[in-house]
Amino acid sequence: MKKLGIGIAAAVAVLLAGSVATSYVMGGKVQEGFESTAKAWSKPPLTVQVQSYERGLFTSTAKTLWTVNTGEEQLSFNASHEISHGPWPRGHAAEINSRFAWNDDAPPELLSLYKDKSPLEWKTSVGWTHTSQHQLSSPAVAGQFDKDKVAFAGLTADFEMSADFKGMKGTATMPSLQLESTAPAQDDEDGDNSGPAKMLLKGNNMRFDLFQPQGQEFMVGSVKWTLDSMHTEPKNGGEPVQIDGLTMDIDTKQEGDVVNTGINTAVKLVTVPGKKINDIAVDLALRNLDATWLNQFTKQSQQAQGDPQALQAMLMGGLQQLLARKPELEIKRIAWRSDEGAAELSAGLSYQGDATKGLNPATDIKAHAKLNMPKPVLESLMGSRVRDALIADNEGDEDYNPQQLATMVQDDVKLRIDTLMQAGVLQEKDNQISALIEYAGGEVKANGKKLGGEEMMGVMAAMP
């Protein structure tokens, strides 16, 4: 019995020693992984710097500095990390609890808004295969930010990341966000003197499953975004706009040497002044993007940090490579219902030329547009454009009384539609308007009929 006790004690001692040694070694590996993660995540506009790392037997601590620099603005966070790496912390190789704080150079409004709250808390569990599970939370805050009132209900995210940091899958949720401008009209940043504005978002959710293909900087996979509602009130005190039941599905795949993306959007209801629009559907497809070009563009755009001129230069510099794959943009469907009936549009644009000879839009571009809708819907769409143009030309609508303006718009729209119908661009049957416009090889066809130069000038003049 005594020998058994000695044996057990010896075994326990060996296990404890092994645990301490394993924990210390694991702590070293966690430190390596911690530093490599900071390096991997440091891509413009984000920089992550490890300022300190103190390693112990079972736990370690670290401090990092996170800086977001857009070129126009810079914002920094300090983060403190408590790291548990042994023995076997809750069944994981390591567990990291991170708490972020605003840096000293943060805008005073942010410091006042969050007070003593951490803007972000981040819990990471690292598995034995080096995959990691992440849980993020940002607290609810309410108060004044500059000239705006803010009510933010917080944010949570839960996602898994692959060991090589190339893939991530999870969800993010923001229950609500309300913004209300309290700035006097003359203080509006846009120079708009039309007064305060309000916006309320509810039920903002995202589900994502993304990864970087081997050797690429861009990500492929799927994203689903849903928004329960968005309510806005215009600055001029006019009627509000309400959007209910928005969903967007984005699916991107690399297929060989090209990348294809599909974007499907649906909205249950949009309420605008005087009108309700139901069951909006927008389906888009972007095909044949050269993967090598996209990879290079992604790398360079990170450095450009949103500079429009730099982005334009990058686009033009790689134009031949981009066009060589003959990219296509297709608007498969834009559809909606209103009191006037159901309407549907579709369109497409593709490159058909020889990329080695440069771009000649007159001969290299192929395009089409198709519409089918009740005549009152078309009249309403054109009427809005015509009304805005009349008001803009007269620098306001104070020169018109409502009846006079309505009559002018109605007469203008009727003349435009009549002109387009006479040119054969629009066709009418049972109060339903349809059209098919095609462009290829420098020629324009309307419903199968080629349009000459004079007809094209008339058509262009008739478009609002």
- Kindly report the three-state secondary structure assignment for every residue of 28-58: HHHHHHHHHHHHHHCCCCEEEEEEEEEECCC
**Domain-located, residue 54:** no
- Residue 176's DSSP bridge partners are 202
Q: What is the pLDDT of residue 209?
A: 97
**Domain-located, residue 425:** yes
**Domain-located, residue 428:** yes
Identify the domain containing residue 407 by its residue range. Answer: 360-464
Closest to 460 in 3D by CA, of 419, 399, 418: 419
CA–chain centroid gap for 233, Å, is 23
Closest to 85 in 3D by CA, of 109, 59, 111, 110: 59
**Domain-located, residue 239:** no
Q: What is the pLDDT of residue 12?
A: 34
Q: What is the pLDDT of residue 434?
A: 96
Spatial distance between the Cα atoms of 243 and 201, rounded to a whole number of angstroms: 10
Spatial distance between the Cα atoms of 404 and 346, rounded to a whole number of angstroms: 35
Q: What is the pLDDT of residue 5?
A: 38
Tens place of pLDDT for every residue, the chain, 464 residues? 433 333 333 333 333 333 333 333 344 556 777 777 777 777 777 888 888 988 887 888 889 888 888 777 788 889 898 988 765 555 457 888 999 898 877 888 888 888 889 999 999 888 878 788 999 999 999 998 878 899 999 999 999 989 888 899 999 999 999 998 877 655 444 444 454 588 999 999 999 999 999 999 899 999 999 999 999 988 776 789 999 999 999 999 999 999 999 999 999 999 988 889 999 999 999 999 999 999 988 888 777 666 778 778 877 778 889 999 999 999 999 999 999 899 999 999 999 999 888 788 888 999 999 999 999 999 998 998 888 888 877 765 556 677 888 889 999 999 999 999 998 999 999 999 999 999 998 899 999 999 887 778 877 887 87
SS3 219: coil
Question: How many domains in the chain?
Answer: 1
Contact status, residue 59 vs residue 48, Cβ threshold 8 Å: no
Contact status, residue 189 vs residue 151, Cβ threshold 8 Å: no
**Domain-located, residue 431:** yes
Spatial distance between the Cα atoms of 8 and 460, rounded to a whole number of angstroms: 94
**Domain-located, residue 334:** no
Contact status, residue 185 vs residue 195, Cβ threshold 8 Å: yes
Closest to 91 in 3D by CA, of 49, 133, 45: 133
**Domain-located, residue 400:** yes
Closest to 93 in 3D by CA, of 164, 30, 161, 158: 30
Q: ω into residue 45 within 30 of 0, thus cis? A: yes
- Residue 209's DSSP bridge partners are 169, 222
**Domain-located, residue 432:** yes
